[in-house]
Structure 1
Amino acid sequence: MDVNYINPILSSFANVMPQLGIANVRKKGMSLKGRFIKSPGVMIIVGIIGDIRGNVIYGMSLNDAKKIASTMMMGMPVDNFDELAQSAISELTNMLTANVATNFSNDNIIINISTPTLIHGEFTANASSDKVVCVEMAVNDMVIEVNISMEKNTI
């Protein structure tokens, strides 16, 4: 995977999160993972196709997902990770990844994204390639893992 694919994602967090009321956004860490990614509680998978192909798999704890959903819903308490909270988190990843597509287009790299697929519970996701870069993003007091599995489309 090309490490240049990371900057559009970091920029996306800096652009989108403050619009949702989450002003404190920073990269917490970065690591390499294999194809199999253990869920921290909630995972959202977004497919990438175009000049680059692969996926971005966002992960967060169930408690962090509820806190983020609450923030997105103007502070409405989120006690249960119900359909409304799941929809908010899916929309967040849709906004983030759409912004990534815009960032790539500024470099003449054209991609399209799939509808986010949200899954929660204990499971292991299978990324689209054997090498995955995981960027941990700290958003306020919460952590979002961004597992990036993208490569240049050779077709």
Structure 2
Amino acid sequence: MDVRYINPFIQGLLDVVAMLGMTSIVRTGLGKKTYLQTENEVNIIIGLTGEVKGNIVFSMPEATAKNIASAMMAGVPVEKLDLISKSALCELANMIAGNSAAKLEGLGVKFNVTPPTLITGKNLLALISQVETLVINFAGNEGPLEMNVALEM
């Protein structure tokens, strides 16, 4: 996997969460999986088509999702993930995808981004893509978050 295609997504996430006031979120780790698989309760999938194809999945525990949704909604407490809080999480993914897309287009890469798909559930195992996946871990006051990058090059 070409790091030129990965760094815009890492920086896109960090730029957007900082812009929204979630300044404690930092990158904490990096790993690889044979294929894109998540086990957290909340997963937001963004598809990529064009010169870069694949999926980006933001995966997190439910508690992290509630905290991020609360931050997206000006601190309004989120007791459960309802339609409004799920919409806020999808908007965050849209913002990250848009920011990342602008960075990639600056490198001359042409591609399209699909609208986000949010999947929630306990004891969920999501097998999303059968390609090698880079897992970038983040942590902050809101909780742990992983970004799974599965690009078909």
The bucket for the TM-score relative to the shorter chain is over 0.9
> How far has the Cα of 1:36 moved from its partner?
4.6
> How far has the Cα of 1:72 moved from its partner?
0.8
Residue in 2 that maps onto 1:45: 45
Answer with 70-79 or 132-141: which moved more: 132-141
CA distance in 1, matches of 2:25, 2:79: 24
The letter of the residue matching 1:101 is A
Compared with structure 1, are the counterparts of its residues 36 and 107 closer, same or farther at alpha carbon in structure 2 (3 Å cutoff)?
closer
TM-score of the aligned structures, taking structure 2 as reference length: 0.93
Residue in 2 that maps onto 1:58: 58
CA distance in 2, matches of 1:133, 1:127: 13
Residue in 1 that maps onto 2:132: 131
Percent identical residues: 34
Residue in 2 that maps onto 1:80: 80
**Cα RMSD after superposing both structures:** 1.4
Structure 1 runs of 4+ aligned residues shifted over 3 Å read none
For structure 1, the residue ranges without an aligned partner over 5 or more in a row are none
Conservation of the 8 A alpha-carbon contact between 1:54 and 1:129 = no
Conservation of the 8 A alpha-carbon contact between 1:127 and 1:149 = no
Answer with 80-89 or 127-136: which moved more: 127-136
- SS class of match (1:21): coil
Compared with structure 1, are the counterparts of its residues 139 and 112 closer, same or farther at alpha carbon in structure 2 (3 Å cutoff)?
farther
Q: Does 1:8 align with 2:17?
A: no
> How far has the Cα of 1:116 moved from its partner?
0.4
> How far has the Cα of 1:26 moved from its partner?
1.5
- SS class of match (1:77): coil
Conservation of the 8 A alpha-carbon contact between 2:38 and 2:126 = yes
What do the CA deviations read for 1:79-137 (whole angstroms, capped 9, x no partner)?
01111110011110111111111110010001111010001113222233321000012
For structure 2, the residue ranges without an aligned partner over 5 or more in a row are none
Conservation of the 8 A alpha-carbon contact between 2:36 and 2:130 = no
> How far has the Cα of 1:4 moved from its partner?
2.6
Conservation of the 8 A alpha-carbon contact between 1:31 and 1:133 = yes
Conservation of the 8 A alpha-carbon contact between 1:37 and 1:126 = yes
TM-score of the aligned structures, taking structure 1 as reference length: 0.91
CA distance in 2, matches of 1:149, 1:137: 17
Compared with structure 1, are the counterparts of its residues 80 and 26 closer, same or farther at alpha carbon in structure 2 (3 Å cutoff)?
same
- SS class of match (1:81): coil
Conservation of the 8 A alpha-carbon contact between 2:133 and 2:150 = yes
Compared with structure 1, are the counterparts of its residues 36 and 53 closer, same or farther at alpha carbon in structure 2 (3 Å cutoff)?
closer
